Homo-oligomer: A and B are copies of this chain.
């Protein structure tokens, strides 16, 4: 029998197991400590007792006590010898770090109740958790009709994970003298706008579901770029859906993670068929095996289950190994792999393999 490598002592492992077993309870405690202002009160006036904190809060001394004691075990606060509460480094991240806040809001507003149906989603390969928000086949169908809080937290999460990287990615593409970009999965047109602003000549061909294309066109029209843009409303799940031919770059950002491996291969094959010999397929995604920080890998593994439970029931945050296998199956080869783009992205620059 092979040995498992152990970074834990037995006692540490027992503790880690209880952290998992009570994870949902500590999540709620931590979130309420953040949203109630209690954590901020601890930060601003270190050393207050529970009773003192309660005086300037909406909550009773009892409520503050149970929350702060949970926070002690969650390690977001610590307590001094005079029963005074102090913020820890972990608490600082919960309170002030935008990424942590975005992740926590996403878990609460989009995922918490849905995750109770994760097992059903895994058994059926349907996003069975979505029913807590409404009756749709996939999250993308329901996105614009999601309850307000869920929609806002979803958009913040989605945008946080991609927007920051767009300028750097656009510079890379335009630096090749790119004249035309096919943007598959253009969403509401954010990447297109970055390219159109950076270059006065590049043209963009937008591919997405009709509703998204509509919103993208409206955003781009408002910015005065309508004449350099063409729209191609397409359901990429339709294996016969053809793509505009011969663009210099076929760009897919945070798009392939929305599809199963077989669907990824089918999409890549159609992309290859739309290429001219000099075209590049350029994929930007967050691959869990390309992360420098354990926290990033962890976030991606959790996000995979969002895809299972809410998005479509069949896709995930891939590792680059799997993506390279899909590219091979579509007769594409990776020329250059750019790691550490923005927060945690990788760009794969691909050419026709033959």
Chain A residues 276 to 324 lying within 8 A of chain B, measured CB to CB, are 288, 293-295, 297-299, 301-302, 304-308, 314, 316
Whether A22 and B103, one on each chain, are in contact in the complex, defined by CB atoms closer than 8 angstroms, is: yes
Whether A21 and B29, one on each chain, are in contact in the complex, defined by CB atoms closer than 8 angstroms, is: no
What is the distance, in angstroms, from A348's C-beta to the closest C-beta of chain B?
Answer: 20
Task: Report copies per complex.
Answer: 2
Return the chain B residue nearest A84 by Cβ: B2
Instruction: Given A123-B58, A302-B73, A308-B66, verify A294-B15 contact (CB < 8 Å).
Output: yes
Q: Is A70 an interface residue (CB 8 A)?
A: yes
Q: Is A335 an interface residue (CB 8 A)?
A: no
Q: Is A118 an interface residue (CB 8 A)?
A: yes
Cα-based distance from A123 to B23 in the complex (angstroms): 22
Return the chain B residue nearest A129 by Cβ: B28
Q: Is A143 an interface residue (CB 8 A)?
A: no
Q: Is A93 an interface residue (CB 8 A)?
A: yes
Determine chain A's interface SS by DSSP, over half rule. helix
| Contact pick for A24, options B5, B107, B123, B125, CB 8 Å | B107
- Kindly list chain B residues whose C-beta atoms are within 8 Å of the C-beta of A88: 4-6, 8, 13
- Kindly list chain B residues whose C-beta atoms are within 8 Å of the C-beta of A20: 26-27, 30, 74, 76, 90, 94, 104
Q: Spot the interface stretch: A108-116, A187-195, A204-212, A228-236.
A: A108-116
| Contact pick for A69, options B25, B97, B122, B288, CB 8 Å | B288
Q: Is A260 an interface residue (CB 8 A)?
A: yes
Whether B107 and A22, one on each chain, are in contact in the complex, defined by CB atoms closer than 8 angstroms, is: yes
Whether A11 and B305, one on each chain, are in contact in the complex, defined by CB atoms closer than 8 angstroms, is: no
Cα-based distance from A46 to B4 in the complex (angstroms): 9
Whether A93 and B32, one on each chain, are in contact in the complex, defined by CB atoms closer than 8 angstroms, is: no
Return the chain B residue nearest A30 by Cβ: B20
- Kindly list chain B residues whose C-beta atoms are within 8 Å of the C-beta of A7: 75
Instruction: Given A73-B297, A86-B4, A297-B73, verify A21-B14 contact (CB < 8 Å).
Output: no
| Contact pick for A59, options B103, B122, B297, CB 8 Å | B122
- Kindly list chain B residues whose C-beta atoms are within 8 Å of the C-beta of A36: 119
Instruction: Given A84-B2, A293-B14, verify A32-B118 contact (CB < 8 Å).
Output: yes
Return the chain B residue nearest A119 by Cβ: B32
- Kindly list chain B residues whose C-beta atoms are within 8 Å of the C-beta of A23: 19, 23-24, 26-27, 107
Cα-based distance from A179 to B32 in the complex (angstroms): 49
Q: Is A219 an interface residue (CB 8 A)?
A: no
Cα-based distance from A275 to B353 in the complex (angstroms): 89
Q: Is A87 an interface residue (CB 8 A)?
A: yes
Return the chain B residue nearest A35 by Cβ: B119
What is the distance, in angstroms, from A74's C-beta to the closest C-beta of chain B?
Answer: 6
A-B contact pairs, 9 of them (CB 8 A): A17-B90, A19-B298, A21-B94, A24-B107, A28-B118, A63-B123, A66-B316, A69-B288, A73-B298
- Since A18-B100, A63-B123 are in contact, a sample of 6 more A-B pairs with Cβ atoms closer than 8 Å, ordered by chain A residue number, is A14-B295, A20-B27, A23-B23, A32-B118, A32-B119, A59-B123
